[in-house]
Amino acid sequence: MSIEQIYVIAEYADIFQIGARNMQNFMLLKELGRIKKPVMLKRGISATLEELLLSAEYILSQGNDEVMLCERGIRTFENYTRNTLDLSSVPSLKELSHLPIIVDPSHSTGRWRLVGPMAKSAIVAGADGILIEVHPNPKVSLSDGAQALRLKNFSKLMMELNAVAHAVDREINLTGNVD
């Protein structure tokens, strides 16, 4: 992503998602700090929690305080999964920061069968939001089909997430998500 694109995107998008590869693109982060749009900052695949928080500071320091952190897996030696979802980062980041934390079980695992269990775990671990890839027909998806949920499985998962959230005294806002 280039810095010039920010202003065009800002006209149409509700939230900026900064991908793992751009987590340390500091000039981009500073520019995002000067706009008034929420930014979801994804953790780099080999970024420590400290580095993630320091990157968030580039945005916050310019006056934009609507920053969300996103755990989306780190690169390890294990390759059954695409990356290793570091779920203990959620309560760890809660100790270190006030920023909301989103978990992405789709990109981290790279396997749709693991998305449900990891989404539920994320809620219970304290995540403030979950990013799930859904596709009406994953087999024809142009990218990331292997990790996308079908609509039916997504609806089922949302019901399960709701039950799990209740068990930890939390509420999931289903508005507009499932029909």
Q: How far is the CB of 68 from a second copy (least distance, A)?
A: 19
Q: Pattern of binders to a second copy over 58-77, x per CB under 8 A?
A: ----------------xxxx
Do 118 and 86 contact (CB within 8 A), yes or no? no
Between helix 49-60 and helix 89-96 the angle, nearest 10°, is 50
Question: Most distant CA pair in the chain: distance in Å?
Answer: 45
Question: Taking CB under 8 A as the rule, does residue 171 contact a second copy?
Answer: no
Q: Which of residues 33-52 bind a second copy (CB under 8 A)?
A: 44-46, 48-50
Which of 6-14, 87-95, 128-136, 141-149 is the region at the interface with a second copy (rule: CB under 8 A)? Answer: 87-95
Question: Taking CB under 8 A as the rule, does residue 92 contact a second copy?
Answer: yes
Among 16, 18, 25, 112, binds a second copy (CB under 8 A): 25
Which residues have C-beta within 8 Å of that of residue 119, sequence separation ≥ 6? 103, 105, 130, 132, 157, 161
How far is 29 from 81, CA to CA, in rounded Å?
A: 29
Question: Taking CB under 8 A as the rule, does residue 179 contact a second copy?
Answer: no
Among 15, 168, 174, 178, binds a second copy (CB under 8 A): 168
Question: Taking CB under 8 A as the rule, does residue 118 contact a second copy?
Answer: yes
How far is 128 from 103, CA to CA, in rounded Å?
A: 8
Question: Taking CB under 8 A as the rule, does residue 80 contact a second copy?
Answer: yes
Among 2, 143, 173, 175, binds a second copy (CB under 8 A): 2
Which of 120-128, 142-150, 151-159, 170-178 is the region at the interface with a second copy (rule: CB under 8 A)? Answer: 120-128
Question: Taking CB under 8 A as the rule, does residue 151 contact a second copy?
Answer: no
Q: How far is the CB of 60 from a second copy (least distance, A)?
A: 19
How far is 84 from 147, CA to CA, in rounded Å?
A: 14
* 167-173 contacts, C-beta under 8 A, 24 or more apart: 167/124, 168/123, 168/124, 170/123, 172/123
